[in-house]
Amino acid sequence: MKNTYILLYFLLKPSKITLVILMYYKKLIKKLMLEAVTKINIKSFFSILCSKLTIKLSKLMSKGGTNFPGTVALKLDKNVLKTLTKNYKVILVTGTNGKTTTTSMIYNLLKESGLDVITNASGANMITGITACFVSNYSFKNSKKQRYAVIEVDEANLKFFTEHSVPEIITITNLFRDQLDRYGEVYTTLNKILEGVKKVPNSTLILNGDESLLGKLDLPNKTLFYGFGATDDMNSSIDVNADAKFCKFCNTPYKYEFVTYNHLGKYFCTECGYKRPNLDFAVTSIKEKTTSGSYISINDTDLYVSQAGTYNIYNALCAYSIAKELNINDDIILKSFEKQQSSFGRQEAIDIEGKKVKVILVKNPAGYDEAINTLILDKNKVDLAFLLNDKYADGTDVSWIWDVKFEKLLQLDTDRILVSGERLFDMAIRLKIAGFEENKFALCNDFEKLLSEIKKCNSDTIYILATYTAMTGFRQFISSKGYANKIW
């Protein structure tokens, strides 16, 4: 047993205190081994144990620990996910935009219905983060209780999960250009997802029917589609910068009965006859859209989506579809949607000395344009902040900002334009070209400066549009200042 402690010490290595902790838990480890021997193999046991210790140490040292514990587990046992997910019915959420919000909506629906459910709420959606989520919720006690797991998974990491576990449901939200340096164009993203889906023919697929890339996938899986019925405020022309404009079978430009946003809508090909599939779940009316949410009907059931924008209607529609597939009744769905709160950085409202600061994650032209379409509904005086980074999680190629319609924001009543992030000068140039007056700009080299400028704003509402690492960095910074709860 002594050799085991030494092995764990050299594996984790954060400090000499690790060895002390392991020796302290010596009796507990022996007890756990005896309990686990009838449940899992020794390799999985040590993998999970080391990962759990890593989580505890990370918390003690305030290191977060959303991915590294999973790295430890997978390094010791590459098949550990098979053990970890054994008693779970897993719902996987993937796609370009809307993963975190949709995952949160589904999770809350299942909780509201009384089901025992876990989720990777931090948004750590790589296979290491997902593994860490299951490890943190794993018990060595020989329990056979059935649980649910609602898991957000990165498009390229889906295949690593389905290699070891068969999910109950896989849902794909949409496919847009995103992180061009990592994914390339939309067909590359689609192929990465399909590589994972093809490993699990018994999983149910719940797909966005308005996404032309997701029709006729030629898969054996049970497949259900959700999408929009025609509503009054939609047009039939697709934007020149839209992503999947050409038929995936014959390359003819699609025609549309209506477009919801970007290339999503009721599409059809005049050449080969490919068209949107029949919908199992549909938005049948949109009664009102505001900067706070939308009043809609799905399959003629009236409900309120407490997050603004067409993209959040899609997220709610996806969650509704999964709830109905799981036989959750409408009363529970309505109650859950009414209680739904924004995930961190997804239209999250933060009070900074009496000012409402709304943080909105933006990471590609499609999502950015939809965020802008939501902001311009606000007829009050507002100020704007733009945060642009170019780290791996943001995409190192920031040329995509030239495809965003920043010009629409000129119709807002705005006095201050705050710009920050690693690529603040790229963003400032783009905004100046869009037509914003130079005397409104404040360039902020760090978050201290940004916070100072926010406090100087005369408007009661400041919208912050930020790429992923800029959003998480700013979120952690204001948490350290006491303006928001810590996430990690």
Q: What is the pLDDT of residue 452?
A: 95
Can you name the residues that pair with 359 across neighbouring β-strands?
A: 348, 464
pLDDT attached to residue 484: 77
Question: Which phi and psi angles does 407 have, rounded to 5°?
Answer: -55, -30
CA 478, CA 228: separation in Å to the nearest integer?
38
pLDDT band at 7 (very low <50, low <70, confident <90, very high): very low
Q: Which of 390-399, 416-425, 447-456 has the lowest mean pLDDT?
A: 390-399
Q: What was the pLDDT predicted at 308? A: 87
- The pLDDT of residue 82 is 94
pLDDT of residue 17: 47
**Is the Cβ–Cβ distance between 171 and 90 less than 8 Å?**
no
Q: Is the pLDDT of residue 383 over 90?
A: yes
Asked whether the predicted pLDDT for residue 183 surpasses 50, the reply is: no
Q: 111-125, 180-194, 433-447, 470-484: lowest mean pLDDT where?
A: 180-194
**Alpha carbon 420 to chain centroid, angstroms:** 23
Residue 292 pLDDT level (bands cut at 50, 70, 90):
confident
**pLDDT band (50, 70, 90) for residue 339:** confident
Class of domain 346-480: alpha beta
Range from 12-21, 145-154, 175-184 carrying the lowest mean pLDDT: 12-21
Q: Are 70 and 81 in contact (CB under 8 A)?
A: no
Of the residues 181, 302, 351, 397, only one is catalytic, namely 397
Q: Is 407 in contact with 435 (CB distance < 8 Å)? A: yes
Percentage, residues of the chain above pLDDT 70? 85
Rounded mean pLDDT of 413-428?
96
From the annotation, which residues make up the binding site? 247, 250, 269, 272
* Identity of the residue numbered 157: N
Q: Are 170 and 111 in contact (CB under 8 A)?
A: no
Angle between helices 42-60 and 127-136 (to 10 degrees): 90
Known binding-site residues for Zn(2+) equal 247, 250, 269, 272
Distances (CA, A) of 250 to 20, 120, 184, 271, 354: 66, 40, 21, 7, 56
State residue 43's pLDDT score: 86
| Over residues 435-461, mean pLDDT | 95
Q: How far apart are CA 167 and CA 267, in angstroms?
A: 30
State the Rg of the chain over Cα: 24
Fold of 85-339: UDP-N-acetylmuramoyl-L-alanine:D-glutamate ligase (3.40.1190)
pTM for the model: 0.85
CA–CA dist 262, 240 (Å, integer): 9
Q: Is 397 a catalytic site residue?
A: yes
- Give the range among 252-266, 305-319, 345-359 with minimum mean pLDDT: 345-359
> How large is the average pLDDT for residues 76-91?
94
Is 258 in contact with 265 (CB distance < 8 Å)? yes
Q: How high does pLDDT run on average in the chain?
A: 87
